[in-house]
Chains A and B, each alone.
Chain A
Amino acid sequence: MSTSKKKSILIKGGHVIDPSSSLDGVMDLLVQDGRIEDISPQNGQNTPPDYEEINATGLWVLPGLADIHTHLREPGFEYKETIATGTKAAVRGGFTAVCCMPNTQPVNDEPAITRYILKKADADGACRVYPVGAITKGQKGETLAEMAALAEAGCVAFSDDGNPVMDSLIMRRALEYSRIFGLPIVSHAEDTRLSEEGVMNEGITATRLGLRGIPNAAEDVMVARDIALCELTKGRLHVAHVSTRGSIRLIREAKSRGLPVTAETCPHYFTITEEAVAGFNTAAKVNPPLRSKQDVAAVCEGLTDGTIDVIATDHAPHHREEKAMGFDNAPPGISGLETALSLSLRLVSKGVIDLNRLVELMSVNPCGIMSIPTRKIAKGVDANLVIIDPELEWEVAPDLFVSLGKNTPFESLRLKGRVVKTIVYGDVIECL
């Protein structure tokens, strides 16, 4: 990306927070040629002659967020989302980089697809896109995809997301083989024999609705298996969308033994429970399913104590008509890019995490796990920033999403704190 002719920007008087640079205070940021040129206490800038000033008084200035779990749907499902609309939604939500999952049509299991995605992203993308390649050919769980070719084409991790790798031997091989590249295997932990035909969390809510349940154990047994395989192979394991207290217990224990395990959760798993499904609300159908209060509490605890490394969105846009097919037939997924940060800020206001930890969870750790360029706020680093108004109250209105996916269980929810501007490699994008 050429950054030579970008306008200089002075972000004035914002509260700058970045634990990776030990920044936490009111400061001015000078951005020149797409890079952070100067960070200094207020009124101490050597400003260039021609610059745009952003008054950030009362606002927070954070490193640009990175989402390591996004479904951009392109190629193949452009009626759900495109690289253009998905990345726009990302930027509006404060993200300056997204890692897109390979369950497209065709599946991103060969370098030609990876290159296609990157080319599209370069042309239409509002932010950086880092593709995740498939673990197995066609995500069928049978034979390994050509990981070397995928890595060379630009894949930053491997996942069969949407499907688990049910065959333990294939998973073992994937974890072993991926060590060549040092890239993580992202596990969609679900024993499909246990979750078979289930459409929501198993429990009294499912019983009352007459819907087939998915027990916590469907996730727990796979997390346990993958941790055992991680221990055996020393391959890097990243557990996607953790939703159960059991998984969190297992991951906590694995980390305490120093295994190379990382984990992510999503805003819906720490914000709402299975009760959101009441009334057959397909907007609350998601996989893994929304769980119980105890699980939500455990997820929060995992975010606090470091068991969970990342808040990812699992942004899964679907067409309105697909979500109107009745609960059994509606596809699972939540359009999450435009609500993730505000929902996570609730954790800050509730005291579950502090702002520094939020930055770790949504920017520092995601970049680290996927080995993508850091978003940190430091001199000479590309200017990827998010400016947040912590006091701004707003109501979630899916019709106003820029994502094509309007599927959110948070419709009409009032939230406090919102992205005002996102700066992507020095370009300022208005987000309100």
Chain B
Amino acid sequence: MTKDLLGIKELDKDDIIRILDTASGFKGVLERDIKKVPTLRGKTMVNLFFEPSTRTRMSFELAGKRLSMDVTNVSISASSVTKGETLLDTIRTMEAYGADIVVIRHSSSGIPHLLADNVTASLINAGDGFNEHPTQALLDIFTIRQHKGRLEGLDVAIVGDIAHSRVARSNIYAMGKLGINVRLIGPPTLIPAGMDSLPKVKVFHRMEEGISGADVVMQLRVQRERQKGGFFPNIHEYAKLYILNGRRLSMAKDDAIVMHPGPINRGVEISSAVADGERSVILDQVNNGVAVRMAVVYLLSGEKTSRMMEERRQRTEDRRQKTDHKLMPAQERRQGTKDRRQKNEY
């Protein structure tokens, strides 16, 4: 792994397995009576959220605290910060406060990548636009492995609004790398262009066809605002076509598990009976989320192998050079200020 976790796209299979295995260890910690280890005492985590979030933010907060980190949450409305320089200034401020890990969520794709290039703190992408939500995919895969005991060759159906889902994308990439067969199910209006050209991915528009014989059924949350966007006529028709109910679940394998990244719309994408049924592992996902995030935080900031240190040093060096080049005007400004100060012009 490198300095940051920006997406599953940037990981290889070994990275993913390493995170999952590390998470298994932390899951043991979470099952103890005292759910805390001193591993990262004195390190600081900042949760920088430009989009509202309860679950993910809380999950990261708990992960940091269970590792004995100092954790601060910062929520900023994205509309108040639209200029990149302001974003860069914000992240540099966090770094000046001594943040070692910055967890960032933003409604625009690519913002974590932009920021990661400009700071030395480790960034964890907690969701950017429709691009990626890597820790969600990692916890989903962790949960699948926990229940299925294996990953390669499994058939996973992901159902719903694939187009606007960073969860779906991160899962698709992770599953592709792990040899899992992915079936995307949804109306053509919500399947983004080119998806069926990805390896190991098949696209279905009829739920019954796509779900049949699946090992895992992952329902995505459908946003009511998509109705306004004309992606489907209304929420009732959507539910009619894509809700996961008992009848449809019976078409999947007998031991198929049901997943959902939450929060769930009961009666829209999933029936209450299925959500609360014995095949549902939705609460395991929540629980595993903390262990997986502990693993990611630990691997990014805690593991003191010389390889990591060297890699980080090198990347920082490269980045500095790049940054110097990119931010010349600001530096010139700063230099100018220094010069003037020395000349007592202030």
Partners in one complex: yes
Question: Which A residues are closer than 8 A to B by beta carbons?
Answer: 202-213, 215, 279-280, 320-322, 324-330
In the complex, the answer to whether A327 meets B109 with C-beta atoms within 8 Å is yes
What are the residues of chain B within 8 A of A322 when measuring CB–CB? Answer: 84
Q: Chain B nearest CB: distance from A279 CB in Å?
A: 7
Asked whether A327 lies within 8 Å of B110 as measured between CB atoms, the reply is yes
The yes or no answer to B37 lying at the interface (CB within 8 A) is no
Residues in A with CB closer than 8 Å to B197 are: 204
Q: Nearest 9 A-B pairs (CB), nearest first?
A: A204-B194, A210-B131, A280-B110, A325-B84, A210-B130, A324-B84, A328-B108, A210-B109, A207-B192
Minimum CB distance partner of B162 in chain A: A207
**B83/A321 in contact, CB under 8 A:** yes
> Is residue B278 within 8 Å, beta carbon to beta carbon, of the partner chain?
no
Considering the chains assembled together, what is the distance between the CA atoms of A325 and B82 in angstroms? 7
Give the distance in Å from the alpha carbon of A1 to the alpha carbon of B169 in the complex.
61
Of A207, A210, A324, the residue contacting B193 (CB under 8 A) is: A207
29 contacts between A and B (CB under 8 A): A204-B198, A206-B193, A207-B169, A207-B192, A208-B9, A208-B194, A209-B110, A209-B131, A210-B110, A210-B128, A210-B131, A210-B132, A210-B166, A210-B169, A280-B109, A280-B113, A280-B114, A321-B83, A325-B82, A325-B84, A325-B85, A325-B87, A326-B84, A326-B108, A326-B114, A327-B109, A328-B129, A329-B83, A329-B84
Which A residue's beta carbon lies closest to that of B118? A324
Flag whether B38 is at the interface (Cβ < 8 A): no
Residue of B nearest to A328 (CB): B108
- A327 touching B108 by the CB < 8 A rule? yes
- The verdict on B263 contacting chain A, using a C-beta distance below 8 Å, is no
Which residues on A sit within 8 Å (CB–CB) of B166? Answer: 210
Task: Look across to chain A and name the residue whose beta carbon is closest to the beta carbon of B115.
Answer: A326
Residues 53 to 76 of chain B near chain A (Cβ within 8 Å): none
From B83, B110, B194, residue with most partner A Cβ within 10 Å: B110
Residue of A nearest to B197 (CB): A204
Contacts of B132 in A (CB 8 A): 210
Residues of B with C-beta under 8 A to A280? 109-110, 113-114
Instruction: Given A326-B84, A328-B108, output 20 extra A-B contacts at Cβ < 8 Å.
Output: A204-B195, A204-B197, A204-B198, A207-B195, A208-B169, A209-B110, A210-B109, A210-B131, A215-B193, A279-B113, A280-B110, A321-B83, A321-B85, A324-B85, A324-B114, A325-B82, A325-B84, A325-B85, A326-B106, A329-B83
Interface size class of B (residues with CB under 8 A): 20 to 34
Instruction: Give the CA-CA distance A330 to B88 in the complex, in Å.
Output: 14
> In the complex, what's the smallest C-beta–C-beta distance from A192 to chain B, in angstroms?
15
Known A204-B194, A210-B169, A279-B113; judge A330-B129 contact (CB<8 A): no
Instruction: Give Cα distance in the complex from A210 to B113, angstroms.
Output: 13
Known: A280-B113, A328-B129. A213 touches B193 (CB 8 A): yes
Interface residues of B, Cβ cutoff 8 Å to A: 9, 82-85, 87-88, 106, 108-111, 113-114, 128-132, 166, 169, 192-195, 197-198, 326, 329
Neighbour of B109 across the interface among A204, A321, A325, A328, CB < 8 A: A328
Most chain A CB within a 10 A radius of its CB, from B111, B193, B198, B329: B193
How many Å from the CB of A406 to the closest CB on chain B? 10
Q: Which residues of A contact B129 (CB under 8 A)?
A: 210-211, 328
CA A329 to CA B83, docked complex, whole Å: 8
A211, B130: Cα distance in complex, Å:
7
CB closest residue in chain B, given A279: B113
* A329-B329 Cα distance, complex, nearest whole Å: 21
Least CB distance, A206 to chain B, in whole angstroms = 7
A330 (CB) vs chain B CBs: closest residue? B84
Q: Which residues of B contact A212 (CB under 8 A)?
A: 130
Nearest B-chain residue to A211, judged by Cβ:
B109
Chain A, Cβ-Cβ closest to B129 = A210
Cβ B87 vs Cβ A326 within 8 A:
yes
How far, in Å, is B146 (CB) from chain A's closest CB? 28
Nearest CB of chain A from residue B147's CB, rounded to whole Å: 28
- Complex alpha-carbon distance, A330 and B87, angstroms: 13
Are A204 and B193 also in contact (CB < 8 A) when A211-B129, A320-B329, A324-B114 are? yes
| Docked complex Cα distance between A330 and B114 (Å) | 12
Q: B306 to nearest A CB, angstroms?
A: 29
If A279-B113, A324-B88, A328-B108 touch, whether A207 touches B194 (CB-CB below 8 Å) is yes
Question: Chain B residues with Cβ under 8 A from A324's Cβ?
Answer: 84-85, 88, 114, 326
Closest to B113 in A: A280
CB-CB < 8 A to A321: which residues of B? Answer: 83-85
Q: Could you say which residues of chain B place their CB within 8 Å of the CB of A207?
A: 169, 192-195
- In the assembled complex, which residues on chain A have CB atoms less than 8 Å from the CB atom of B110? 209-211, 280, 326-328
Q: How far is the CA of A209 from the CA of B169 in the complex (A)?
A: 9
Which of chain B's residues has its CB closest to A197's CB? Answer: B229
A204 CB contacts on chain B under 8 angstroms: 193-195, 197-198
State A326–B9 Cα separation when bound (angstroms).
19
Contact status of A325 and B130, CB under 8 A, knowing A207-B192, A210-B109, A280-B114: no
Known contacts A210-B128, A279-B113: A325-B193 contact under CB 8 Å: no
A205–B110 Cα distance when bound, in Å, is 13
A322 vs B88: C-alpha distance when bound (angstroms): 12
What's the Cα separation between A72 and B113 when bound, in Å? Answer: 31
Query: A327 contacts which chain B residues (CB < 8 A)?
Result: 108-110
- In the complex, how many angstroms separate the beta carbon of B200 from the nearest chain A beta carbon? 15
CA–CA, A204 and B326, complex, Å = 29
Complex CA distance for A130 and B229, rounded to whole angstroms = 42
Instruction: Tell me if B193 and A326 are in contact (CB < 8 A).
Output: no
A326 B111 Cβ-Cβ under 8 A: yes
Cβ-neighbour of A203 out of B109, B169, B193, B198 (below 8 A)? B193
